[in-house]
Amino acid sequence: MNRIIIVNKEKDMTSRDVVNIVSKKLGTKKVGHTGTLDPLATGVLVLLTGRYTKLNEYFMATKKEYIAEVAMGYLTDTLDRTGTILEQEKTSPTKEELEQVFRTFPRTYMQEVPLYSAIKVGGKKLYQYARNQEAVTLPKKEVHLYELELLKVNDKSFTFRAVVSKGTYIRSLIRDLGISCGHLFTMSELKRTKQGVFSIEDAFLLDDITKDYQGPKLQEVLDIPVEIVDSNTAFKIKNGCSLENPKKYQAVLFLTPSMEELAIYKNENGILKVDKMIGSEDE
C-alpha cells in the first residue's frame, strides 16, 4: 500500500535500520526514507512506501528544525561525542558570549561538509577517506539558517534550536559556532523536530507502527495544487497522455472524484506531462 509513515526515530539506530524494521512490519520491500538521520540523532524520519517511494523529491523539505545539545571544551573528528577527541580546552564561553554569537552568526554562509559523512568526492564517500586516513579537500556548500535560538546554558554545555535549509549539517554548524567565538564545541545530542510539514507531534515510535497504520493523505502534505478530474480525463491520465494547462500549473496532483490518486504532472513548455504515475493498487 502507498503510505507516508512519520517515525520518531530512537537513538543508536541508522535510518536504514528503521527502513528495514518497517519493511518487515508491513511485509513489503518498497520502503524508503526521505532524509537521513545519524545514529546519534532522534526525531522525525519520514518514510514512503509502495508507489510513494517514487515521490522522494517532493518530500525533500527545504526547511528542517532541530534541537541540539552542545558539549563545550573539546572537538572530535566526527564533530559529535562518538568521535575521537582532537583538541581540548579548560575554558568555556559565558552565557553573554554565547548570546552574542547567536545574535551575530551569519544566517547564510558556506559550510564545510564533515569528513565523516556520505558525501562523495572523486567517486568515494568522505568517511572512506577518513577510515583510510587519506587526505581529501572537504567540499563547501551554501546553507541558510532561518532561525537560530539559544535555549539553555549550563556549565559545560548549552542547547539551541535551529531551522535550517536542506543539506545543513548541524554538527558542522556547532563546530562553526565554536570557531566564531574562539572555543571548541562538539554535538552531544540531536533531535529533528520538524521536516517540512511533518512535526515530532505527528510521529510514531516504531513499536506503535503496525500494518493498520494510516498516515496522512498525499494531498494533505504535498506543496502543489490538487485537481479532481472527470472520468474522461482520468482515463487519459492513466494512459499517460499529455494535457492542456489552462491554469498554468507548474506541478499538479490529479485525483478522481472518489479521491483516487492518479499522477503528478509537471509543466513542460506550456503542456502538462506525466512526472510520476501513482495509481492506487498495492505493490
The answer to whether the beta carbons of residues 143 and 164 sit under 8 Å apart is: yes
Block residue for cell numbers 545530542: 189
List, as one string, the DSSP characters of 141-168.
EEEEEEEEEEEEE-SSEEEEEEEEETT-
CA pair distance 14, 205, nearest whole angstrom = 14
Calculate the CA dihedral of residues 189, 194, 200, 202 and round it to 10 degrees.
-160
CA pair distance 197, 216, nearest whole angstrom = 11
User: Which of these is catalytic: 12, 17, 38, 282?
Assistant: 38
38 is catalytic: yes
Phi first, then psi: what are they for 157, rounded to 5°?
A: -155, 165
The answer to whether the beta carbons of residues 264 and 255 sit under 8 Å apart is: no
Nearest CA-CA partner of 251 in 226, 233, 234? 226
Q: Give catalytic residue positions.
A: 38
